[in-house]
Amino acid sequence: MPPTLLIASNNAHKHKELREIFATLAPEIRLVGPAEIGLTLDPDETADTYLGNAALKAHAFARAVEGRGLWVIADDSGLEVDALGGRPGIYSARYHRTAPNQDGCQRLLDEMRGVPRERRTARFQGVIVLIRPDGVEGDFMATCEGVIGVGKRVAKGFGFDPVFQVAGGARMMSEISEEEKNRVGHRGLAAAKAIAWMKHGGPQ
């Protein structure tokens, strides 16, 4: 029987992206959100690394569903801007929440005003943690390189997508198709590694 995978997040955008990625790469795997199984859980992200935060979430949800035969997937990610010394990094979500009007993109553009293109390099870093029903853990990391634009291009997407231009292209992350984003983006790349691990049952 194909595995059922619990998404260790209450973020609707993450749910949407992960479901699209799995529908393309592993349609046989069923994904469920916490609400679908009657689970209310929102663990604090108190670690100082992406892996640490993803692991905190994954293990909290795994403990909550122990014995139910579910795999658990959690992720953490952030935008690292070289001209800002790697900020906002693991605090990317907080950067949005604490920005004026909760507009982290505009806050970032304001901080980057006057910075030449060659110094606007940045990357999305992403980590996915998978936990099997027997507690075995797999960790998967991926990076998407790019630059910070000089203005927002809002077509779709969320977070920093409207100001992040993927390396080697002319469009912002918010302007590319969902299929392309899932292929080149940090979450899609990390998920592809996780799916390969799942299909082999994890470490042997």
Question: Rounded to an integer, what distance in angstroms lies between the CA atom of residue 183 and that of residue 84?
Answer: 27
**Residue 87 Rama label (left phi>0; alpha psi -120 to 50; beta):** beta
How many CB atoms lie under 10 A from the CB of residue 30? 16
Question: Rounded to an integer, what distance in angstroms lies between the CA atom of residue 104 and that of residue 50?
Answer: 19
User: Could you tell me if 7 and 31 are in contact, meaning their C-beta atoms sit under 8 angstroms apart?
Assistant: yes
Please pick, among 76, 103, 134, 161, the residue that the annotation labels catalytic.
Answer: 76
Question: Rounded to an integer, what distance in angstroms lies between the CA atom of residue 52 and that of residue 74?
Answer: 11
Instruction: Mark whether 82 is an active-site residue.
Output: no
**Crossing angle for the helix pair 12-25 and 186-199, nearest 10 degrees?**
50
Positions marked catalytic:
76
